[in-house]
Amino acid sequence: MRRVTPWTGLCAVVALVYAFIFIPIIITASVSFNSINQSKFPPVGFSLRWWNEALTDRWLEPLALSIELAAAAAVVATLLGLPMALVLVRTKFTGRAALEGLVLGPVVLPALVTGIALLQMLQLIGLGSLFGFPALLIGHTIICLPFTVRTIAISLRSMPRRAEDAAANLGASPFRVFLLVTLPLIKSGLFAGGVFAFIQSFTDYSVSLFLAAAGIKPISVTILGFLEFGFTPTLAAVAVITLAVPLMLILVVQRFFRIGDFIYGAQSRG
């Protein structure tokens, strides 16, 4: 009985956690099928009218913008995060702690503060014309960079250095060692950092709210503006669609990487 009770308690806690996560999603999805223009639960009747509205250009254009922005921010953040992670993991120099704090700062600071700071900085240095996609890309890259640096650094720390030393001893140049040995060993960290960056960018609204321009608004900002009219069934349908995008990305990546490989690298299992 002593063995069963802790296990039962653990299962109950896990069930509550899953319920806390999935019940709001189920309710939101159900609301989108109401036959009336009210967010009723359980839904009144059944209608696909609100899904038809959610798939119009009014919503698909900002959704496409968000996907494009998130993909661009993920690529840029990964390209910048790789050399930064290499410097932070492989070298020791004066100011290393300050650089690490600067890189990881956006995780500590509220995104709202980051958005306001970027807004003021761009205006003060005379780059107000960048508001729109360029400013959004800059802002999203900044808030995504900590995820790529941290994840790539985990892969670098867990990879066997003996492989690099062996390649160097066999005559490979530092560039060939990096290209043919290091990159393949940390590929899971690169993919993980890119995916985390994509999700962070796609779901952000605090930075986007300050850097968006008229006609160039991500889906998160568009949703916030629509909330002025209340939470309608159309918004419920849009919310389900925006939830499906990162979920499908995770499922695709999971097809090629197991969770352990995806986060820590296959080599970490020894």
101 is a domain residue: yes
3 is a domain residue: no
Q: First CA to last CA across the chain, in angstroms?
A: 37
Written as six digits, the tokens of 10 are 């653990």
1 is a domain residue: no
Interior CA angle at 224 toward 221 and 227, to 5°? 155
pLDDT at position 12 is 87
224 is a domain residue: yes
pLDDT at position 261 is 54
136 is a domain residue: yes
Q: Burial, 116: exposed, middle or buried (Cβ in 10 Å; 0-12, 13-18, 19+)?
A: middle
Domain of 236? 56-269
Written as six digits, the tokens of 8 are 């039962």
18 is a domain residue: no
Q: How far, in Å, CA of 199 to CA of 73, rounded?
A: 10
Q: Residue 232 sits in a domain of what CATH number?
A: 1.10.3720.10
Q: What's the pTM?
A: 0.83
- Residue 202 contacts residue 184 (beta carbons within 8 Å): no
Tens of pLDDT along the chain (270 residues)?
455 577 787 888 889 998 888 888 888 888 888 888 877 788 888 888 889 988 988 899 999 999 999 999 999 999 999 999 888 888 887 777 787 777 777 777 777 888 888 888 888 888 777 888 999 999 999 999 998 998 888 888 888 778 777 877 777 788 888 888 888 888 888 888 888 899 999 988 888 888 888 888 899 888 888 877 777 888 888 989 998 888 888 887 777 665 555 454 444 444
Please name the residues in contact with 225: beta carbons below 8 A apart, sequence gap of 6 or more: 217
Looking at the 3D structure of the chain, how many domains does it have? 1
148 is a domain residue: yes
12 is a domain residue: no
pLDDT at position 197 is 92
